């Protein structure tokens, strides 16, 4: 196993750097969790994955992509879209 050699770094500087990296790591995890809970419209989903909106609506109607109504708008959780893509890809490989 290889290691990192730090030269001219005091123990207090190292501790400060370590704490900063730890804090950044927590922030990245928090942002990733928020992104997964983000809700997008079928139009945004279609643009993001490169299909037509008709395809997205067909997947919603068939139950492959869970969606809910927010007022008068239909919305999809980003995590549900990603999971649906995984499921569809695995179906294609099983054939």
Would 87 be classed as within a structural domain? yes
Would 8 be classed as within a structural domain? no
CATH number (domain holding residue 90): 1.10.1660
Would 15 be classed as within a structural domain? no
- The CB density around residue 40, as the number of other CB atoms within 10 Å, is 16
pTM of the predicted model, to two decimals?
A: 0.59
Which residue do the tokens 């809700």 mark? Answer: 39
Structural contact between residues 76 and 66, judged by C-beta atoms closer than 8 angstroms:
yes
Range of the domain at 88: 40-94
Using CA atoms, how far apart are residues 8 and 65, in angstroms rounded to an integer?
A: 55
Q: 42: which residues sit within 8 A by CB, 6+ positions away?
A: 53, 56, 57, 60, 67, 74, 76
Q: How many domains does the chain have?
A: 1
Q: Give, for all 95 residues of the chain, the pLDDT tens digit.
A: 577 777 888 889 889 988 998 998 888 887 777 776 789 999 999 998 899 999 999 999 999 999 999 899 999 999 899 888 887 766 555 55
């Amino acid at each position: 196993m290889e290691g990192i050699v730090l030269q001219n770094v005091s123990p207090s500087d190292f501790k400060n750097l370590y704490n900063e990296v730890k804090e950044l790591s927590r922030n990245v995890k928090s942002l990733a969790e928020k992104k997964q809970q983000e809700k997008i419209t079928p139009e945004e989903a279609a643009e993001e994955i490169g299909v037509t909106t008709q395809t997205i609506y067909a997947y919603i109607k068939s139950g492959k992509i869970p969606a809910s109504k927010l007022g008068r708008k239909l919305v999809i959780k980003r995590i549900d879209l990603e999971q649906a893509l995984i499921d569809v890809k695995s179906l294609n490989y099983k054939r």
